[in-house]
């Protein structure tokens, strides 16, 4: 296995080819972006923390029977993953209100949602990831009915596993975004699960421990990610 050519460099990660056409190297960079790339910064150590964080969460999800692209860690900032044909849709589950749902519906932050709610967004930075629904996904053929059903099922199964995992560490899983892709016709969880793509609050104080610290200029972004990792027992040298 060797690091091949970069085939894609996004806002926070770079993908490289390998000598196996079915596998890619996913490199986590220190680059941090919010508001669809309008706010950018370099946060020292973030790539390393997110690589470890993601490996830990993906392993927990795999143990629970959720198919993921994650293979294994390769280095401090790189992991080997299955090469997926990505579905250009973001799947969001919310357990508590925060972020765009508050802006869109004029509701306060921190309202418990029972049952948790689910939203689809189109992955398109130029359009600011507009919300879409099952019908639009079908009409534009971004995914099939079976893919849609599977993405919803897997996204809720992730909630069942991770809500408890975080709660045991004194953390509320407020919301999160997942991306899926196809691997030899199977729908598989791709991309990452890190504090960059979810909201995590201290269960007692509701202190924000995720990328909202960056979005809202609260400071201590990487320190908050490290605190979550420490509470989950993720070792980061």
Q: Which residues bind ligand TMP (CB under 6 A)?
A: 90, 92, 99-101, 121, 129, 175-177, 197-199
Check binding of 35 to ligand ASP (CB under 6 A): yes
- Which single residue is written with the structure tokens 């080997």? 80
* Secondary element (H or E) of residue 205: none
Backbone angles phi, psi at 216, to 5 degrees: -100, 10
Nearest residue (CB) to ligand TMP, 4 versus 99: 99
Residues 174-213 that bind ligand ASP (CB under 6 A): 211
Residue 42: both structure tokens together: 């370099």
Torsion (CA) 214, 15, 142, 54 in degrees, nearest 10 = -50
Least separation in angstroms between CB 86 and ligand ADP: 4
Q: Which does 176 bind (CB under 5 to 8 A by kind): ligand ADP, ligand TMP, ligand ASP, none?
A: ligand TMP
* Secondary element (H or E) of residue 109: none
Q: Which does 198 bind (CB under 5 to 8 A by kind): ligand TMP, ligand ADP, ligand ASP, none?
A: ligand TMP
> Among 37, 110, 130, 170, which residue interacts with ligand ASP (rule: CB under 6 A)?
37
Least separation in angstroms between CB 203 and ligand ASP: 23
The answer to whether 237 and 229 have CB atoms below 8 angstroms apart is no
> Among 11, 123, 152, 231, which residue interacts with ligand ASP (rule: CB under 6 A)?
11
Check binding of 33 to ligand ASP (CB under 6 A): yes
Check binding of 18 to ligand ASP (CB under 6 A): no
Cα 115 to Cα 34, 94, 118, 156, distances in angstroms: 28, 9, 10, 11
The answer to whether 189 and 147 have CB atoms below 8 angstroms apart is no
Examine residue 115 and say whether the peptide bond preceding it is cis (omega within 30 degrees of 0): yes
* Secondary element (H or E) of residue 161: helix 145-167
Residue 206: both structure tokens together: 């509701």
Nearest residue (CB) to ligand ADP, 6 versus 10: 10
Nearest residue (CB) to ligand ADP, 84 versus 224: 84
Q: Which does 181 bind (CB under 5 to 8 A by kind): ligand TMP, ligand ADP, ligand ASP, none?
A: ligand ADP
The contacts of residue 103 (CB under 8 Å, 6+ apart) are none
Least separation in angstroms between CB 3 and ligand ADP: 16
Check binding of 27 to ligand ADP (CB under 6 A): no
The residues binding ligand ASP (CB under 6 A) are 11, 33-37, 211, 215
């Amino acid at each position: 296995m060797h690091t091949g050519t970069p085939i894609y460099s996004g806002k926070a990660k770079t993908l490289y080819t390998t000598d196996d056409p079915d596998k890619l190297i996913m490199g986590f960079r220190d680059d941090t972006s919010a508001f669809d790339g309008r706010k950018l910064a370099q946060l020292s150590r973030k790539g390393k923390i997110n690589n470890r964080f993601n490996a830990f969460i993906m392993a927990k999800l795999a143990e629970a029977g959720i198919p993921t692209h994650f293979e294994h860690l390769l280095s401090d900032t790189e992991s080997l993953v299955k090469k997926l044909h990505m579905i250009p849709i973001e799947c969001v589950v919310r357990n508590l209100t925060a972020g765009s749902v508050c802006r869109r519906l004029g509701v306060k932050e921190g309202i418990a949602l029972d049952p948790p709610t689910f939203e689809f967004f189109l992955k398109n930075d130029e359009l600011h990831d507009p919300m879409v629904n099952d019908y639009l996904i079908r009409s534009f053929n971004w995914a099939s009915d079976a893919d849609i059903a599977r993405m919803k099922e897997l996204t809720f199964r992730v909630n069942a596993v991770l809500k408890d995992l975080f709660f045991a560490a004194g953390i509320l899983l407020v919301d999160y975004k997942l991306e899926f892709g196809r691997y030899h016709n199977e729908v598989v969880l791709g991309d990452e699960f890190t504090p960059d793509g979810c909201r995590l609050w201290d269960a007692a104080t509701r202190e924000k421990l995720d990328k909202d610290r960056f979005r809202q200029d609260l400071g201590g972004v990487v320190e908050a990610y490290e605190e979550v990792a420490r509470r989950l027992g993720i070792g980061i040298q």
